[in-house]
Every structure is written in structure tokens, then in C-alpha cells.
Amino acid sequence: MKPIHLHHVWQYTDVDRAFWKEHLEDWVPARVFDAHTHVNEPEHRVVEMTDQKRRQYWVNEVSEPIGAVAAEHCAKTVFPSREFSCLAFGHPSLDYDLEASNASLQSACEARGWYRLAVVRPDWSAQRVAAELDQPRVLGVKVYYALISDDPTTRDKHLEASIFEFLPRHQLDLLDERGAWVILHVPKADRLGHPDNLREIREIRDRWPNVVLVIAHLGRSYTLAHAEEALPALADDEGLYFDNSAVLNPEVHRLALEVLGPRRILYGTDNPIFFMRGRRQWHGRSYVNRTDYPFHFNQDREPPEVEAGYTLFMYEALLALRQACEATGQDRAAVEDLFGGNARRLIDGR
């Protein structure tokens, strides 16, 4: 069959069809809810990515905005014969017109029955955030340290910030009152396990218990070492949730299932980034992405015959999750919870 264009430079090929059939067709539930996906109309990008920033970090090279029509096409392609819905939000970056991005995604979500998080800046008043939350199908907010202030040379100017610098207390008061969601990408080079992150997350849970706090990417635990440092420390808080977006390591998924249990984890893709073709390899606390496109970060290429077998990163992540579920003895009810049951319970409980 002919390849199907997905997004940016990626296509859906016979390799992907075969991978889906062999590894995923009999396992992925009939209903899929993606709790972490970025949808942003390209025309709302107001600052173009520079070559300098592309060379700094691999995500900058692949993070091209995807509009709602294209995102819907991709979801139907990569989840064949599945009923799909999602929690979508724009790129949390000052390179975008946040107001226009929020408004256009609002219309797209209402038209498709999707849910949305508003991307909000920390200097926005509670009243301004409330106006976003008042709209239909808006569950809460997406916050990010890069929204503190702009730096044209790097996205990580505020990497070592306190969580409260980009999720301020006056917004948390409102979010607690509304029982709203926060999907939190934790700061710090040391990721979730940094003592300040653990302390501040516990403070949020103590002072604002009605906030539906979802820690993105299992706390950026892309390696087992980071997961082991962080996840057990928060295991006792049954009201704290995590999404597993962008996690490719089956051992991280296994640990999360063992420590947190399947009812506190929400499936997410982090698309459109994870339409990238390739695989990830781990070395202690670091990882290397392998792909078949000549990005700046992809200089140490694998042989052509290996690259020819690459599938989508999101499919590799799904297989890793399946392997972890099977290794920990999860039943079908638990798998269905991961792929939407948990999210639906949280949504219905608002």
C-alpha cells in the first residue's frame, strides 16, 4: 500500500501497518483517549524556530505545529478501527499567539467532541484564567516554565524554576475552586526526583486538594534511573495522577504500574512529536533517539537495513506499555482504564 502522510516529514507505511497488526491490533482497546496531545494551528506561530535553537535540543527540530484537521487525520490513521478522543492543548511556548491558539482549538474541540486545556501564562489573573475555564469542554490548564518569559536563544532559561513561578498560587486558588485539571511538566535538570519538585508537588496536593494534578511524562522519567528516584516517593498519594506520554522505556512503564497502579496513569502520546520514526536507546540517566531523517541531533546513524525497520515512536511506546502490562499481570479492565477509563472517571467527577 502507498504511504500515508502523517505530519512534518513522517509517513505511515507498510512497516507501521505490519507492526500494528503484529503487536497492537489485538491489545489496544476499542476506545482510545489520548490525554496528552498538542494541537496548534500553524498560522498562530508568531516566532519561527531558529537553526540555533534546533541545534540545542532534539524536540525543537521535530516540534512543528499540527492543526486540528491534520491531527484528526493522523489519529484515524495510527489508531485504525478505534474510537478516538483526546485532551488537546496548544504548544506552551511564547513563540505562539496563545489567545488565538486557545480560541481556535476551542472551536475544534467543540466540533469533534474533544476536551481542551487552556495554555496560560503565569502572569494571567485569576479572572483571565476563569474566562478560559468557563468555556465548554475545557477541563483545566496547561502550564510550562518557558511561559515565564521569552528568551530567543533557548527554551530552558527557566528550567530550574520553582513550580510556583509558572503555576502561581493565585491561579491554584481558582483551579482548586473549580476542580480543574493541571497537566504539569516538571522543571529541573534532575526531573521529578529533585527535592524541590517533590516538596512543591506535596504542597499543591495539601493546599489545593481539589485540583486534578496530572504529572506529565511520568515526571519526565524517560530512564529507569529517573523513575526509581521519583515515582516511589509519590506512590502514597492516591489522588495524584500521571500521564505516560513520551515514555518509551518498558522498564519505566513496569515500575510505574507496580508503584502507582493502573488507575493513576493516563495514556498519552505527546503527538505530533511521536510520529517520528525510530527508536530510543538508554544509557544510565541519558538516552539517545535514533531516527531515519537527517536532523542535527541524528548524526550517529544506524545501518540502512536497521532504519528500514523503524516504526513510529508512538508505536514503540505502545509496545513498551504492552510489555509492561503483561510483565505486571494487568487484566483487560486495567488496560482499558489506562486507555481512557481513568480519564473518563476524572472528567465525570468534575
pLDDT per position as a tens digit, 148-202? 998 888 878 999 999 999 999 999 999 999 999 999 999 999 999 999 999 999 9
Euclidean distance between CA atoms 196 and 10, whole angstroms: 38
Grid cell, residue 97, equals 499567539
Cα–Cα distance, 134 to 138 (Å, whole number)? 7
- Please give the pLDDT value at position 350: 62
| CB-based contacts of 110, cutoff 8 Å, min separation 6 | 136, 137
Angstrom distance (rounded) from CA 39 to CA 60: 16
Mean pLDDT across the chain: 97
pTM beyond cutoff 0.95: yes
- The boundaries of the domain holding residue 175 are 4-348
Q: Structurally, how many domains does the chain consist of?
A: 1
CATH of the domain at 219: 3.20.20.140
CA–CA dist 85, 34 (Å, integer): 6
pLDDT exceeds 90 at position 53: no
pLDDT of residue 94: 96
pLDDT at 150: 87
Q: Model confidence over 275-321: pLDDT tens digits?
A: 999 999 999 999 999 999 999 999 999 999 999 999 999 999 999 99
Beta strand 115-119 pairing with 138-143: parallel
Q: How confident is the model at residue 125 (pLDDT cuts 50, 70, 90)?
A: very high
Q: pLDDT tens across 225-252, in order?
A: 999 999 999 999 999 999 999 999 999 9
Q: How far apart are CA 58 and CA 297, in angstroms?
A: 6
Length of the chain: 350
| pLDDT computed for residue 152 by the predictor | 81
By C-alpha distance, which of 100, 95, 6, 101 is closest to 54?
Answer: 95
Q: What is the average per-residue pLDDT within 3-26?
A: 98
